[in-house]
Amino acid sequence: MWGKLKNIGAGFIIYALLVIIGILLWPYAGTSKKNCLKVIKLYCNLVFWILKKVFNIKILVKGVLPDNSASIVCSKHQSFLDVLILLKVLPEPKFIMKSELSWVPVLSTYARKIGCVNVKRNDKTKSRYALKDAIGKESKNQSGQLVIYPEGTRTIPGQEVEYKRGVLILFSSLNRPLYLVSTNAGVAWSKTGKFKENSIATIHFLEKIHYSKKSAKNLNYIRNKIEKDSQKLYKEEFVKG
């Protein structure tokens, strides 16, 4: 019973802070993208502090991270936690995100400010137009990391689903480095809101791929690379009990 109450209480505080900090600091965050990212990263640090103090959840980032030159980050998605980790560690992140989030107060305001792109998951025509628009805007940028979740939604740890082709469209159209990222963040903080005490939420930057028509990586390569390492991270954390 106590564990359930602790989960509910921590979740409430984390999401309440999102609203409180977002509203109170918007006069500062709204002045520039740089200041907006500072506020976002402050929020991430507060969440990580809460997770460490309340559940002894640690954050681990492995591999070589992108610098601030323009790139694409293709990441496994299991939890709000892996979103926060990427927001914290990437210099200038922006996300391809589901259109339903565009109606969420505060979150949607900050997402627009940092350049996130909305995609309607169940409408292929509108999704293609959104990607085309994102490509047009991104082609003019010389900095920033465009994050895409190839599954299109959160999955539970250990679950594997088919990847959508949007990542290949971005990769071939923008001709910029693609970073493959695995995670087990859903073990530490599940999509149902459950936290696992004494766990380690890992984000692993596996590989940096430079686009070449002669040796273009296909979707199976990307999926196998990310899924294999995500399974490894999940099993390493799961066996701890």
C-alpha 179: how far from chain center: 13
| Encoded tokens for 212 | 């070449």
Please state the pTM of the whole predicted model: 0.92
Q: What are the tens digits of pLDDT across the range 46-61?
A: 999 999 999 999 999 9
Which pLDDT score, from 0 to 100, does residue 132 have? 78
Q: What is the mean pLDDT of each run of 10 residues along the chain (241 residues)?
A: 83 96 97 97 98 97 94 95 97 88 85 87 67 78 90 87 88 90 95 92 95 71 95 83 57
Show me where the domains of the chain are located: 57-238
Helix (H, G, I), strand (E, B) or coil at 32: coil
Contact yes or no for 148/225 (Cβ under 8 A): no
The whole-number pLDDT of residue 119 equals: 77
The answer to whether 147 and 86 are in contact (CB under 8 A) is: yes
CATH number among 3.30.200.20, 3.40.50.720, 3.40.50.300, 3.40.1130.10, domain 57-238: 3.40.1130.10
